[in-house]
Structure 1
Amino acid sequence: MISASAWADAQLLWDFQRMGHVPRPCSVAVGLGSHDLGVADVAVGLYRRGLVPLIVFTGATSRTTAARMPRGEAEHYRERALELGVPSSAVLVEPRARNTGENIRFSRELLAGHGVDVASVLLVSKPYEERRAYATARRLWPDVEIVSASSPMSLDDYVTTIGDTRLVLDMLVGAVQRLMVYPARGFMIETEIPEAVAAAYERLRAQGFTSRLVAG
């Protein structure tokens, strides 16, 4: 069981990660691979609205996705998009990336290899990793405009969809930690962390929501 105080802290981290960007027409949508097929659904929705002419799905597998997405995250995303009616000509697959930095770098290389002129990117992530993904893209792809996008669902609804409360809270804590430690490693731009968010992060970490933390 998750205590009411832990849930309130998780809500603070969830709200902080949401960038509040309004989707607008961009050169391409880049869907970041994960355990959550909802990322593919959001990218498809943006395509259907005419906001992008092309989708890139990026991701290999991780310890979280190896069993549920054995063909690779990007490939499963592509299959989902095709099931939803997106033509194969509008989808590119980047199957090697194993972290957010590689998602950005390899997608950039893939698009350049296909001669796609990119001025702006609709960056599609899980809801609780919008800010982390944005900070990474701004560091590694500084010459394009980044617009963050994710499912608009609430934390309650998201946990119900995923079916694993602890996994989501562990991921939330890990995403905030990366915002704190990765800028010094050159992986992302600096992000100001509000005191209330930092305190909630520390409380959740002290309660053991630590399986997705990185060393240092």
Structure 2
Amino acid sequence: MISTRAWADAQRLWDFQLMNQEPRPCDVAVGLGSHDLGVADRTAALFHEGLAPLIVFTGATSPTTRSKMPRGEAEHYRERAIELGVPASSILVESRARNTGQNMTFTRDLLDSHGVEVKSVLLVSKPYEERRANATARKLWPGVDVVSASTPMTFTEYVDSIQDAHLVIDMLVGAQQRLLIYPREGFMVEVDVPEDVTAAYERLSAEGFTSRLVRASID
């Protein structure tokens, strides 16, 4: 049973992670692999809106996706986008990345190898990882204009879609921890985190929402 306090703290982390940027035309849309096929759905929708002429899906597998996406997150995303009407010729797949930093560097290298000049990126992630992904891209893909996007939905709607509130809060706590510690590791730019957000993160950690916390220097 998740307490009212924990739910409110999770809502605060959710609200902070959202960048609330208006999607606009970019050179490429990059869908970050995860357990959530909604990222592929949103990326396909943005493609159909004419906001990017090319999609890159990036991601290998993780403990949370190995059984659900045995062919790799990026490949399952590609299949989903094609089901939604995106031409296969408009999709590149990067299937090695196992963390957000690798998503950025491997995608950048893939586009370079295809001769694609990139000045702007429409970065599509899960809603609760917009800010983390944005900060990582700005560190590891310098000189590129980054626009963050995700499926428009409330925290409650997202929990209902995943059907595992504890997992979603664990993920929120993990994303927030990385915003606090990864800048000093050189993995992302520094992010100004309000005190009430840090306090919410610390309370949730103390309550045991810890399965996605980093226990080593690199996740």
What's the TM-score bracket when you normalise by the shorter of the two chains? over 0.9
Shift of 1:198: 0.5
C-alpha distance in structure 2 between counterparts of 1:30 and 1:52, whole Å: 10
Shift of 1:215: 2.0
Deviations 1:61-120 (A, max 9, x none): 000000000000000000000000100000000000000000000000000001111000
Q: TM-score, normalised by structure 2?
A: 0.98
C-alpha distance in structure 2 between counterparts of 1:195 and 1:73, whole Å: 35
1:79 aligns with: 79
2:68 matches 1:68: yes
C-alpha distance in structure 2 between counterparts of 1:163 and 1:61, whole Å: 21
C-alpha distance in structure 2 between counterparts of 1:188 and 1:119, whole Å: 19
C-alpha distance in structure 1 between counterparts of 2:85 and 2:122, whole Å: 20
Mapping of residues 42-121 of structure 1, within 5 Å = 42-121=42-121
2:182 aligns with: 182
C-alpha distance in structure 1 between counterparts of 2:156 and 2:69, whole Å: 24
C-alpha distance in structure 2 between counterparts of 1:88 and 1:75, whole Å: 11
Q: Match of 1:202, as an amino acid?
A: E
2:24 matches 1:16: no
2:150 matches 1:150: yes
C-alpha distance in structure 1 between counterparts of 2:127 and 2:63, whole Å: 20
Deviations 1:108-154 (A, max 9, x none): 00000011110000000000000000000000001100000001110
C-alpha distance in structure 2 between counterparts of 1:45 and 1:151, whole Å: 10
C-alpha distance in structure 2 between counterparts of 1:208 and 1:177, whole Å: 14
C-alpha distance in structure 2 between counterparts of 1:148 and 1:6, whole Å: 27
Would you identify which runs of 4 or more consecutive aligned residues in structure 1 move more than 3 Å?
A: none
C-alpha distance in structure 2 between counterparts of 1:12 and 1:165, whole Å: 15
* Structure 1, unaligned runs of 5 or more: none
When the two structures are aligned, how many residues end up with a matched partner? 216
C-alpha distance in structure 2 between counterparts of 1:106 and 1:19, whole Å: 24
C-alpha distance in structure 2 between counterparts of 1:185 and 1:129, whole Å: 18
1:146 aligned counterpart, secondary structure: strand
C-alpha distance in structure 1 between counterparts of 2:149 and 2:33, whole Å: 14
C-alpha distance in structure 2 between counterparts of 1:67 and 1:167, whole Å: 16
Q: TM-score, normalised by structure 1?
A: 0.99
2:5 aligns with: 5
C-alpha distance in structure 1 between counterparts of 2:51 and 2:103, whole Å: 21
CA RMSD between the two structures: 0.6
Shift of 1:163: 1.1
Shift of 1:45: 0.7
Q: Match of 2:83, as an amino acid?
A: E
Shift of 1:42: 0.6
**Percent same amino acid among aligned pairs?**
70
